[in-house]
């Protein structure tokens, strides 16, 4: 659908996937006024098509829109459009456990104007693409490098928005981490360089002395839907949780005292990603002997069970689209 100041958001339509053309002066290409979301639809074991927390994703899209001065979408219009789209494309939702239909809504500015300014016109699109199981080679721990040279986001910046600039800011550091043999980068805050923020495309959680600790939402990290899910499920299980500022030194100290029991990432792509090693300033912290911790495994099984319909959805996270 399209936006202009006269008509607002208008003309929602479903068209086959194809290339689009934009002006070489398209302002998004030059100044990056764009936002996106990533969510998934699943085929359950009893042959229903479901989406996971779609309204949370659409509301987060609007939060990103506010940060980037993009006009907000009508939540119900997008929600209903999304349901219709998935219903039409139901054959593309794969059935094998762990697979899904990835849904990528995005909005970008379309003014063909080379001056730096907020665009007057926009386009919103949704791409659907089936994706293979994330852990095709098995549910294995990842190795993460704590980033102490580069910075992803700063207070007052764009860190809380799901906007391309944040990913552009992380590309080089990601490459350096890969070259050193690490899968992902763990970002520290941009001011003190000591408070833990998030991983490239995941939030990060620690199990310290039985408590699940994760950095509080501070304006410079993404409010992950999977993070919210983990905290809600942990509370349901009676496991203590805490959202607060946590420094890398506190994690290191807990590690040295034998109190750092588990570390894992949370995100739509991987769902739960066990962390087997954290590298910080020349030291390797091997977590739980490099093995998947019991809480991490249980949480992964629980959330993937919600996706497949094998676990009862007591918290109302799963929305049914169609029963086949």
The interface region with ligand PMP, picked from 6-14, 69-77, 86-94, 219-227 by CB under 6 A, is: 219-227
Helices marked H in the chain: 27-31, 54-67, 75-88, 164-179, 225-237, 248-256, 294-308
Applying CB under 6 A, does 141 fall inside the site for ligand PMP?
no
How far apart are CB 229 and ligand PMP at their closest, in Å?
8
How far apart are CB 166 and ligand PMP at their closest, in Å?
6
Closest CA to 81 of 19, 40, 124: 124
Taking the C-alpha atoms of residue 220 and residue 299, their distance in angstroms, rounded to an integer, is 26
Parallel/antiparallel/unpaired status of strands 318-323 and 48-52: antiparallel
Identify which of residues 64 and 110 has a Cβ nearer to ligand PMP in the complex: 64
Q: Are residues 135 and 59 in contact, defined by beta-carbon separation less than 8 angstroms?
A: no
HSE of 47, CA atoms in CB hemisphere, 13 A: 3
How far apart are CB 128 and ligand PMP at their closest, in Å?
17
Rg of the chain (C-alpha set):
20
Pattern 19-38, ligand PMP, x by CB under 6 A: -------------------x
Q: Are residues 52 and 42 in contact, defined by beta-carbon separation less than 8 angstroms?
A: yes
Q: How far is Cα of residue 287 from the mean position of the Cα atoms in its chain?
A: 23
Helices marked H in 162-258: 164-179, 225-237, 248-256
> Is 113 exposed, middle or buried, given 0-12, 13-18 or 19+ CB atoms closer than 10 A?
middle
Taking the C-alpha atoms of residue 77 and residue 83, their distance in angstroms, rounded to an integer, is 10
How far apart are CB 324 and ligand PMP at their closest, in Å?
26
Query: Site for ligand PMP (CB under 6 A): which residue of 107, 225, 233, 287?
Result: 225
Pattern 230-269, ligand PMP, x by CB under 6 A: ------------------------------------xxx-
How far apart are CB 255 and ligand PMP at their closest, in Å?
23
Applying CB under 6 A, does 226 fall inside the site for ligand PMP?
yes
Applying CB under 6 A, does 184 fall inside the site for ligand PMP?
no
Pattern 198-217, ligand PMP, x by CB under 6 A: x--xxx--------------
How far apart are CB 104 and ligand PMP at their closest, in Å?
11
Site residues (CB under 6 A) for ligand PMP? 38, 198, 201-203, 222, 224-227, 266-268
């Amino acid at each position: 659908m399209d936006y202009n100041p006269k008509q607002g958001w208008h003309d929602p339509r479903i068209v086959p996937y194809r290339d689009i053309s934009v002006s070489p002066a398209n302002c998004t290409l030059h100044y990056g006024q764009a936002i996106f979301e990533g969510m998934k639809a699943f085929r359950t074991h009893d042959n229903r098509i479901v989406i996971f927390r779609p309204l949370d994703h659409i509301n987060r899209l609007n939060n990103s829109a506010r940060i980037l001065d993009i006009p907000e979408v009508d939540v119900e219009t997008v929600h209903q459009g999304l349901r219709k789209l998935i219903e039409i494309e139901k054959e593309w939702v794969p059935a094998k456990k762990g697979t899904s239909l990835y849904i990528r809504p995005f909005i970008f500015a379309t003014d063909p104007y080379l001056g730096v300014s907020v665009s007057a016109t926009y386009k919103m699109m949704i791409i659907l693409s089936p994706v293979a199981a994330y852990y095709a080679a098995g549910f294995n721990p990842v190795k993460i490098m704590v980033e102490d040279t580069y910075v992803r986001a700063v207070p007052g910046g764009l860190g809380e928005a799901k906007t391309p600039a944040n990913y552009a800011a992380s590309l080089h550091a990601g490459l350096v981490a890969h070259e050193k043999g690490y899968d992902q980068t763990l970002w520290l805050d941009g001011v003190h360089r000591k408070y833990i923020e998030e991983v490239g495309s995941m939030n990060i959680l620690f199990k310290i002395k039985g408590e699940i600790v994760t950095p509080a939402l501070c304006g410079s990290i993404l409010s992950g839907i999977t993070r919210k899910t983990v905290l809600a499920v942990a509370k349901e299980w009676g496991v203590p949780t805490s959202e607060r500022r946590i420094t890398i030194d506190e994690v290191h100290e807990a590690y040295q005292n034998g109190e750092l029991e588990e570390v894992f990432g949370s995100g739509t792509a991987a769902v739960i990603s066990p962390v087997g090693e954290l590298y910080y300033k020349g030291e390797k912290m091997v977590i739980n002997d490099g093995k998947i911790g019991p809480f991490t495994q249980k949480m992964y099984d629980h959330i993937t069970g919600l996706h497949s319909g094998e676990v009862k959805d007591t918290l109302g996270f799963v929305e049914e689209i169609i029963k086949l």
